[in-house]
Structure 1
Amino acid sequence: MAENLNPTKLEYYEEMWKLQSNATLLSSFQGEDGKQVLILDSTIFHPQGGGQPADTGFIFNSDFKFSVQGVRSKDKIVYHYGFFENSENAVLESKIEKGAEVLLQVDGERRKLNSRLHSAGHLLDACTAIVGLGHLAPGKGYHFPAGPYVEYKGTVPQNELQSKQQQLELEANNLIAKGGKVFASVLPYNEAAALCDGCLPDYIPKGSNPRIIKLGEQPGCPCGGTHVSDISEILGVKVSQIRVKKGMTKVFYNVEP
């Protein structure tokens, strides 16, 4: 259903705090699971991935209103999953046409929470070096509201876990209280590396143009997610546990309500 379509333009890449936008409908069809799917030329909806849940909200015009319940990206095409509200399928088929102009509206409260959780995860990354955990190599992060964590390659001695947990929380909240602007930018490889302490992870192809997130004065890092506009908007972080298992260290955290 997405044959011969250009990659979806990701408007949230540079405007992470934008909650409304206009787009053009490129395709509408029913997926194998029975859900309706919309494909647009551009989107402000963040798809699920990178440890961050998908945005929800609405896509609509004068003819229909589509409730977005899930968003996925595949081969650079973004798929919006959901259902049409208060409309019969027979009527919709005559009204939903390729080229229709639509308005996109993201659930602001959900976006705000997801952005705070994701930003807090990156802030904890920065704090590992501050509290003497610089030997830990970044792994993956899970920034869903239920059970967010950041994971690293490397271990911490069992007798240091409690003290490091307290230190991480203290340093993260010190940085939150201090604040600092957050920016995202797609940059040439060398410029991106310079912002990330001089190097990029091996999974970033040399010569590519990665998107870099930078929180205040902390080193940048490649990331495709959404974030707060200022570190202070995280409000506060609670580090609930540090767990070491099979050569990995997992830091569980959450943000203030």
Structure 2
Amino acid sequence: MAENFSPTKLEYYENMWKLQSTSILLSSFQGEDGRQVLILDSTIFHPQGGGQPADTGVITSAGFKFVVQEVRSKDKIVYHYGFFDNSENEALKKNLEKGAEVLLQVDAERRKLNSRLHSAGHLLDVCMTNVGLGHLEPAKGYHFPDGPFVEYKGTAPQNELQNKQQHLELEANNLIAKGGKVFVATLPYNEAAELCGGCLPDYIPKESSPRIVRLGENPGCPCGGTHVSDLSEILGIKVSQIRTKKRMTKVFYNVES
């Protein structure tokens, strides 16, 4: 369906805190699950991925209101899944024509929570090094409200991890209390590597220009998600458990409400 479309412009890449914008409708159709799908030339909606849940919100025009329930990305095209709410049939038909301008509005509270959880996960990566667990290599993160965690390649004795748990939480909350602006930019490979402590993960091609997020004065990391504008906005982190299994270590956490 989207093979003839140019890649969707990701506005949140440039401005993670933008919650409203306009875009151009490229296509509207019914998905396999029965929901309606909109494809736009640009979007501020973050699709599910990278351990972060999708944004929700609404897309409106003069003749319709489209409730965005889910956002997915495939082959650089972003798909907005949802339903039309209280739209007049004739106006809907007219305004769903290709080229129509639409207004996008992201659910601010959901975006804020997702950004806080995602930022907290990256901050824990920094703190793992600060408390003497830097030999554990970051593998992935799950930054959903139902049970966020960060996972690392490698293990340590369980009693050592338990002893480090309180120190890890204290270190993270000290950095939050101190605060620090969040920097985000798409950079040439060498500049990105320098900002990330001298190297980048092997999966990032050396001819690429990765997007780097840096929390305060801490080393940056490649990331395509959304984050807070200042570390203080995380408010606080509670590390509930650290456990190791099958050569992997998981740190479970949550953020203060």
Q: TM-score, normalised by structure 2?
A: 0.98
Query: Following the alignment from structure 1 to structure 2, what is the Cα–Cα distance between the partners of residues 30 and 200?
Result: 40
Cα distance between partner residues in 2 of 1:32 and 1:158:
46
Q: Give the counterpart letter for 2:168 in structure 1.
A: L
Corresponding letter in the other structure for 1:99: G
For 1:116, what is the secondary structure of its paired residue?
A: helix
Paired position in structure 2 for 1:242: 242
In the other structure, the counterpart of 2:213 is 213
Q: Which is worse superposed, 35-44 or 157-166?
A: 157-166
- How far is the alpha carbon of 1:90 from its aligned partner? 6.7
8 Å CA contact 2:63–2:87 kept in 1: the answer is no
Instruction: Measure, in 1, the Cα distance between the counterparts of 2:44 and 2:30.
Output: 22
Partner of 1:25: 25
- Confirm or deny that 1:107 pairs with 2:107: yes
Tell me which residue corresponds to 1:131: 131
> Percent of aligned pairs with the same residue?
81
Q: Which residue of 1 aligns with 2:230?
A: 230
Instruction: Say whether 1:57 aligns with 2:57.
Output: yes
Structure 1: distance between partners of 2:91 and 2:129: 59
1:95 shift after superposition: 3.2
Q: Unpaired runs of 5+ in structure 1?
A: none
Mapped partners of 1:36, 1:184: distance in 2 = 33
Between the aligned partners of 2:194 and 2:217, the Cα distance in structure 1 is 13
After TM superposition, give the deviation of residue 3 of structure 1 in Å: 2.6
Which letter maps to 2:85?
Answer: E
In the alignment, which residue of structure 2 is the partner of 1:158? 158
Q: Which deviates more, 83-92 or 203-212?
A: 83-92
Q: Secondary structure at the match of 1:226?
A: coil
Go from structure 1 to structure 2 and tell me whether the alpha carbon gap of 1:87 and 1:47 turns closer, same or farther (over 3 Å shift): same
Deviation larger for 155-164 or 231-240: 155-164
Q: 3-state SS of the aligned residue for 1:78?
A: strand
- AA of the residue aligned to 2:36: Q
Question: Which residue type is aligned with residue 200 of structure 1?
Answer: L
- Report the equivalent of 1:183: 183
Return 5+ residue gaps in structure 2 as ranges.
Answer: none
Q: CA-to-partner distance for each residue in 1:118-143, whole Å, 9 max, x for gaps?
A: 00000000001100001000100000
Amino acid at match of 2:3: E
Aligned pairs for 1:195-210 (under 5 A) are 195-210=195-210
Letter in 2 for 1:70: E
CA distance in 2 between partners of 1:130 and 1:89 (Å): 59
Matches of 1:90 and 1:155, distance apart in 2: 62
> Could you say what the CA RMSD is over the residues aligned between the two structures, in angstroms?
1.0
Contact 2:64 2:88 in 1 (8 A): no
Tell me the residue number matched to 1:95: 95
Q: Which amino acid aligns with 1:238?
A: K
In the TM superposition, residue 89 of structure 1 has moved relative to its aligned partner by 5.7
Letter in 1 for 2:190: N
What TM-score do the two structures reach when normalised by structure 1?
0.98
Q: What residue number does 2:117 align with? A: 117
* Partner of residue 9, structure 1: 9
How many residues end up aligned between the 2 structures?
Answer: 257
Q: Contact conserved, 2:64 with 2:91, CA < 8 A, in 1?
A: no
* Matches for 1:63-102 after TM superposition, within 5 Å: 63-87=63-87, 92-102=92-102
CA-CA distance at 1:91 after TM superposition: 5.7
Equivalent residue letter for 1:59:
I
- Aligned equivalents of 1:114 and 1:156: distance in 2? 30
